C-alpha cells in the first residue's frame, strides 16, 4: 500500500491554479464587454427602468379603487397587490432579452472570433450573460422596490428585500438560460425579437397573477396561470410582503383542483432552474461541436 501513489499528487497544481485564474479572467473580460455596451448605450438601461415604473404608476392609478380584498381575502390596496407582479415582470422582461448580445454577435461575426479564440471554458459566454443580466436587473428591482415602498408608505425590511432578490434570481437564471438557448437556435434578431416580444412577453405577463388575482379569472385561464412559473414567484413575494414574514405552511395558490404552498412553490422554481440550465448546456454544447 505504501507504494501506491496518490493520483492528485502527480498533477501539477500550478497548472490547475493557472487554469482557474484564466477562467476567471475570461469571465471578467466577456462581462466587461457587456457592460461597455451599456456604457455606450445608456438609453437602453433607462428605458428598461422607466418601463416598469410606468406600469406601476399607471396601473396602480387606473385600478386604485378596485376592491381587490374581495378576491384575495386580504386587506391590501391594488398598488400593494401590483408591486410583486411588476418586480417579477421586470426580472422576466430583462431575462428574456439576455440572448440579444449573443445573437447580435452571431450576425456581426464576433461570436465566431470568440469561439475560435483559445478559451479554456467556452461556457464563460453563458455565465457572463446571466451574471450581467442578474446585476442589471437587481439594481432595477431595488429601485422599483424602494419607489413602491415610498408610494404605498410601507416600511421596507431587509429580509423582504433579500427574499425578493432570491426569488428574482431563480427567475433570472431560468429565463436567461432559455433566452441564450433561443439565441443559438433562431436564425436572426428579427425572429428573436418577434418570438420574445410578441409571442412570449405580454402573454406570459397576462397569464399570471401579476395584474389580477387568481379567483378573478375564468377556470380555463386559471389552468394556464397555474402552469406559468411566474405565478409562483409573484405569489411568494406577495405573501411575504403582506405578512412581513415567511409562512412555509401557508397555501399561496388555491384552486378547485389543488393547493400549492410556499415550500412547494420554491421547489417548483428550483426544479425549473435545473431543467432549463441542463437544457441550455446540452444545446450549446451541440452547437459548439
64-99 per-position pLDDT tens digit: 777 776 556 667 777 888 888 888 888 888 888 888
The residues, ordered by sequence, that sit 6+ positions from 237 with a Cβ below 8 Å of its Cβ are: 84, 87, 88, 163, 164, 167
114 neighbors 101 (Cβ within 8 angstroms): no
Say yes or no to pLDDT of 16 above 70: no
| DSSP code, position 215 | G
Closest CA relative to residue 143, chosen from 220, 181, 223, 87: 87
* pLDDT number for residue 195: 78
Neighbour count for residue 121 (Cβ, 10 Å): 15
| DSSP code, position 261 | E
- What's the predicted TM-score (pTM) here? 0.81
Residue 86 CA to residue 217 CA, distance in Å, equals: 19
Choose the most confident range, by mean pLDDT, from 51-65, 195-209, 262-276. Answer: 262-276
- pLDDT averaged over the chain? 77
200 neighbors 97 (Cβ within 8 angstroms): no
Residue 67 CA to residue 252 CA, distance in Å, equals: 19
Distance, CA of 45 to chain centre: 16
62 backbone dihedrals φ, ψ, rounded to 5°: -65, -40
- DSSP per-residue letters across 158-206: HHHHHHHHHHHHHHHHHHHHHHHHHHHHSSSHHHHHIIIIIIIIHHHHH
Say yes or no to pLDDT of 4 above 60: no
Using a pLDDT cut of 70, give the percent of the chain over it.
81
Beta bridge pairs of residue 251? 261
195 backbone dihedrals φ, ψ, rounded to 5°: -70, -45
Closest CA relative to residue 87, chosen from 146, 173, 159, 154: 146
pLDDT in tens, 126-162: 788 888 888 888 888 888 888 888 877 777 778 888 8
Amino acid at each position: 500500500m505504501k507504494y501506491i501513489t496518490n493520483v492528485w499528487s502527480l498533477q501539477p497544481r500550478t497548472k490547475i491554479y493557472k487554469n482557474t485564474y484564466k477562467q476567471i479572467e475570461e469571465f471578467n473580460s466577456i462581462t466587461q464587454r457587456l457592460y461597455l455596451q451599456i456604457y455606450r448605450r445608456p438609453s437602453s438601461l433607462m428605458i428598461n427602468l422607466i418601463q416598469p415604473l410606468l406600469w406601476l404608476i399607471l396601473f396602480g392609478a387606473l385600478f386604485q379603487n378596485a376592491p381587490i380584498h374581495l378576491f384575495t381575502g386580504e386587506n391590501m390596496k391594488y398598488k400593494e397587490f401590483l408591486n410583486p407582479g411588476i418586480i417579477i415582470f421586470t426580472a422576466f422582461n430583462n431575462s428574456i432579452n439576455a440572448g440579444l448580445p449573443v445573437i447580435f454577435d452571431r450576425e456581426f461575426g464576433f461570436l465566431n472570433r470568440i469561439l475560435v479564440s483559445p478559451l479554456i471554458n467556452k461556457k464563460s459566454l453563458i455565465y457572463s450573460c446571466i451574471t450581467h443580466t442578474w446585476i442589471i436587473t437587481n439594481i432595477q428591482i431595488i429601485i422599483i422596490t424602494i419607489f413602491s415602498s415610498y408610494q404605498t408608505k410601507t416600511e421596507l425590511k431587509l429580509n423582504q428585500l433579500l427574499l425578493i432578490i432570491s426569488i428574482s434570481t431563480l427567475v433570472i437564471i431560468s429565463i436567461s438560460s432559455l433566452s441564450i438557448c433561443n439565441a443559438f437556435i433562431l436564425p436572426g434578431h428579427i425572429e428573436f425579437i418577434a418570438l420574445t416580444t410578441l409571442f412570449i412577453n405580454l402573454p406570459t405577463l397576462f397569464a399570471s397573477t401579476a395584474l389580477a388575482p387568481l379567483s378573478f379569472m375564468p377556470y380555463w385561464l386559471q389552468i394556464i396561470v397555474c402552469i406559468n412559473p411566474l405565478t409562483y414567484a409573484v405569489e411568494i413575494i406577495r405573501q411575504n410582503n403582506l405578512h412581513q414574514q415567511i409562512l412555509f405552511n401557508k397555501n399561496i395558490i388555491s384552486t378547485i383542483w389543488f393547493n400549492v404552498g410556499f415550500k412547494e412553490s420554491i421547489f417548483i422554481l428550483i426544479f425549473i432552474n435545473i431543467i432549463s440550465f441542463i437544457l441550455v448546456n446540452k444545446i450549446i454544447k451541440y452547437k459548439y461541436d
